[in-house]
């Protein structure tokens, strides 16, 4: 790499009478004046030329010298990494890598060329200074006495033949000569460039910290696999619009199957409340002479699949032998009416019953088919329920004003034809119902 300095013969380096090619002196066989003067002038000229030439050689040797370093082709198996070259930086010099490249046969992007630096020699790893799958250019950092360690890696699933090359520079340590390849020199900041167009939309970020809340899934489906915190709407007991939150993974288990029994699968989020009263209709036309009469009409009591009757210690309560699950029973109502000759008027209806049961059921109001003057709806007929004959029943919310859970919940049916109720106590409980209301009779 370094150029050797000019080393003239000894005779030319001795100034014998302003220089001489040989030691011509008086008395030499050829020491005649005609030869002494010209040869002295030639010897001195050679001394001056050699001095300047050695200055040039010294300046050249102080510059950064480029050293190409090809790496032999290497066959690597899948996920194999090998060290293929150790390049030693001798004492008194410093070196840098200005280019490194790697390729594969067959072509593959799953390859890697890494170069490490170590202060010692003969190692297999050190401080990583280059890592590329294609080509690296522009290294400006110099490294002193030590070595560059070159490693190749095949990251693919097939064997590949890898080829690589490095281009180094080297110069004497502490040289003040200019770089062969200029280093980056930071100038003054330029004026801001124009605003570029908006970039492409990034990928959605990952969820932030915190526990996710409820996940709404819509109406309950027997085929959906519910997981913790998924919420579904469900008509409790077939008639109470409600919503429930899953507390475990399950499929085909409806809220009816596990609530109010707290088995950890479903928990109530909201139980449907009674709707507000509708807007009163316009007054009807004046009728003729009124007619008064009363009669017995028929409603219906439908027991649910979880219905279970019990034996009551009170008189007049329906017992186990009278009511069974998933059955329909006639429910007697008293009807009183004030109508004119065109059957236009007002009808009153009332009924009461005592039950000893648990589970859910529905009381459907009388219809014209059951002898009613009209199809009665729960918009005008109201219900009162007493538990054990003394305690009031809270229709909603699930916890009463005293902080205790009620024994019965009651709500209107979604079609307005009656009332759905549920006895929440796991054992049969004495419940007393009374219904009363009035409804306009329209011919």
What's the CATH code of the domain at 85? 2.60.120.660
Do the domain assignments include residue 3?
no
Q: What is d(CA 50, CA 384) in angstroms, rounded to the nearest whole number?
A: 127
Nearest Cα to 1, choosing from 171, 135, 233, 149? 171
Q: Which of 150, 172, 194 is the last residue of a domain?
A: 172
**Cβ-based burial of 277 (10 A; exposed 0-12, middle 13-18, buried ≥19):** exposed
Q: Which of 290, 281, 222 is nearest to 253 (CA)?
A: 222
d(CA 19, CA 22): 9
CA 303, CA 181: separation in Å to the nearest integer?
95
CA of 109: how far to CAs of 138, 156, 165, in Å? Answer: 22, 8, 17
Residues 340, 414 within the same domain: yes
What domain range is 224 assigned to? 215-271
Residue 431's Cβ-side half-sphere holds a number of Cα atoms within 13 Å equal to 28
Identify the pLDDT of residue 19: 43
Q: How far apart are CA 32 and CA 38, in angstroms?
A: 11
| Residues 298 and 390 grouped into a single domain | yes
Contact 360, 304 (CB under 8 A): yes
128 and 25 in one domain?
Answer: no
Q: Please give the Cα distance from 275 to 76 (Å, whole number).
A: 77
336 in the same domain as 266: no
Q: Is residue 262 part of a domain?
A: yes
pTM over 0.95: no
CA dist 21 and 16 (Å) reads: 9
Asked if residue 195 is part of any domain, the answer here is no
Which of 43, 61, 79 represents a domain boundary (last residue)?
61
Who's near 112: CB < 8 A, 6+ residues apart? 81, 102, 131, 132, 133, 152, 153, 155
HSE-CB at 413 with a 13 A cutoff on CA atoms is 18
Give the three-state DSSP class for 245: strand
Q: What are the tokens at 101?
A: 């490249």
Residue 185 lies in a domain: no
Judgement on whether residues 118 and 256 belong to the same structural domain of the protein: no
Could you tell me the maximum CA-CA distance found in the chain, to the nearest angstrom?
178
CA 139 to centroid of chain Cα atoms: 39
Q: Is residue 279 part of a domain?
A: no
In a domain, 177, yes or no: no
Residue 139: name the closest of 79, 180, 177 by CA: 180
- Burial code (b: 16+ CB inside 10 Å, e: under 16) for 222-237 equals eebebeeebbbbbbbb
Give the total number of structural domains in the chain: 4
- Kindly give the confidence (pLDDT) of every residue in the chain, 443 residues in length, as a single tens digit, with 9 standing for 90 and above: 556 666 665 444 455 544 444 445 555 555 555 555 555 566 666 777 777 777 776 666 666 788 888 777 899 999 999 998 888 988 888 889 989 999 999 999 999 999 999 998 888 889 999 999 999 987 788 898 899 999 999 999 999 999 999 888 888 886 544 444 434 344 567 778 788 788 788 777 665 555 668 899 999 998 899 999 999 998 877 777 888 899 889 988 888 765 555 567 888 888 766 566 678 888 866 655 678 878 899 999 999 988 888 877 665 555 555 788 899 988 889 999 888 765 678 889 999 888 888 888 999 999 988 888 888 998 889 988 877 655 555 554 444 444 455 578 888 888 889 999 888 878 888 888 889 999 888 76
Residues 135, 236: one domain? no
Q: Cα(88)–Cα(242) distance, rounded to whole angstroms?
A: 80
Shared domain check, 321 and 418: yes
**Are 250 and 122 in a shared domain?**
no
Q: Do 266 and 278 touch, CB atoms closer than 8 A? A: no
As a whole number of angstroms, the distance between CA 439 and CA 375 comes to 9
Q: 192 in a domain, yes or no?
A: no
SS3 271: strand
Residues 258 and 339 in one domain: no
Mark whether 296 and 368 lie in a shared domain. Answer: yes
3-state secondary structure of 362: strand
The pLDDT, as a whole number, for residue 108 is 92
| Rounded CA separation 213/219 (Å) | 18
Domain boundary among 172, 204, 234: 172
Examine the domain organization and report whether 305 and 434 are in the same domain. Answer: yes
Q: Which pair of tokens denotes residue 73?
A: 């082709």
CA pair distance 227, 232, nearest whole angstrom: 11
- Is 202 inside a domain boundary? no
Same domain, 71 and 39: no
> What is the length of the chain?
443
Q: In which element (H, E) is residue 39 found?
A: helix 33-61
Query: Tokens for 148?
Result: 């560059």
How far is Cα 183 from Cα 432, in angstroms, rounded to an integer?
A: 97
């Amino acid at each position: 790499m370094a150029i050797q300095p000019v080393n003239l013969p000894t005779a030319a380096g001795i100034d014998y009478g302003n220089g001489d090619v040989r030691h011509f002196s008086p008395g030499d066989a050829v020491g005649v004046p005609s030869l002494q003067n010209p040869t002295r002038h030639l010897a001195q000229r050679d001394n001056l030329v050699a001095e300047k030439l050695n200055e040039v050689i010294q300046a050249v040797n102080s510059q950064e010298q480029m050293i190409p370093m090809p790496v032999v082709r290497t066959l690597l198996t899948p996920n194999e990494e090998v060290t293929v070259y150790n390049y030693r930086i001798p004492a008194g010099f410093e070196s840098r890598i200005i280019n490194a490249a790697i390729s594969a046969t067959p072509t593959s992007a799953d390859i890697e060329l890494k170069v490490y630096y170590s202060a010692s020699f003969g190692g297999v790893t050190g401080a990583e200074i280059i890592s590329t799958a294609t080509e690296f250019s522009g290294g400006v950092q110099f490294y002193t006495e030590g070595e560059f360690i070159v490693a190749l890696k095949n990251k693919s699933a097939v064997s590949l033949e890898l080829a690589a090359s490095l281009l180094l520079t080297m110069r004497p340590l502490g040289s003040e000569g200019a770089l062969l390849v200029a280093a980056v020199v930071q100038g003054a900041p330029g004026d801001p460039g124009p605003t570029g167009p908006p970039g492409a939309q990034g990928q959605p970020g990952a969820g932030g910290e915190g526990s996710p809340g409820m996940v709404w899934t819509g109406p309950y489906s027997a085929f959906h696999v519910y997981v913790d915190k998924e919420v579904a709407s469900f008509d409790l007991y077939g008639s109470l619009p409600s919503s429930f939150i899953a507390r475990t993974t399950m499929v085909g288990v409806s809220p009816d199957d596990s609530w109010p029994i707290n088995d950890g699968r479903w928990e109530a989020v909201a139980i449907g409340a009674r709707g507000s009263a509708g807007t009163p209709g316009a007054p009807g036309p004046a009728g003729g002479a009124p007619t008064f009469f009363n009669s017995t009409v028929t409603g219906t009591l439908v027991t649910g699949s979880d219905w279970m009757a019990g034996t009551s210690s009170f008189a007049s309560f329906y017992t186990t032998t009278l009511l069974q699950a998933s059955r329909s029973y006639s429910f007697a109502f008293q009807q009183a009416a004030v109508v004119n000759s065109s059957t236009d008027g007002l009808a009153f209806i009332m009924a009461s019953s005592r039950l000893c049961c648990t589970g859910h059921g529905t009381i459907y109001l009388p219809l014209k088919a059951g002898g009613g003057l009209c199809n009665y709806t729960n918009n005008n007929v109201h219900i009162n329920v007493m538990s054990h004959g003394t305690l009031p029943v809270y229709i909603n919310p699930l916890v009463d004003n005293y902080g205790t859970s009620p024994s019965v919940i009651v709500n209107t049916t979604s079609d307005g034809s009656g009332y759905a109720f549920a006895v929440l106590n796991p054992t049969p409980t004495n419940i007393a119902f009374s219904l009363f209301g009035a409804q306009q009779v329209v011919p």
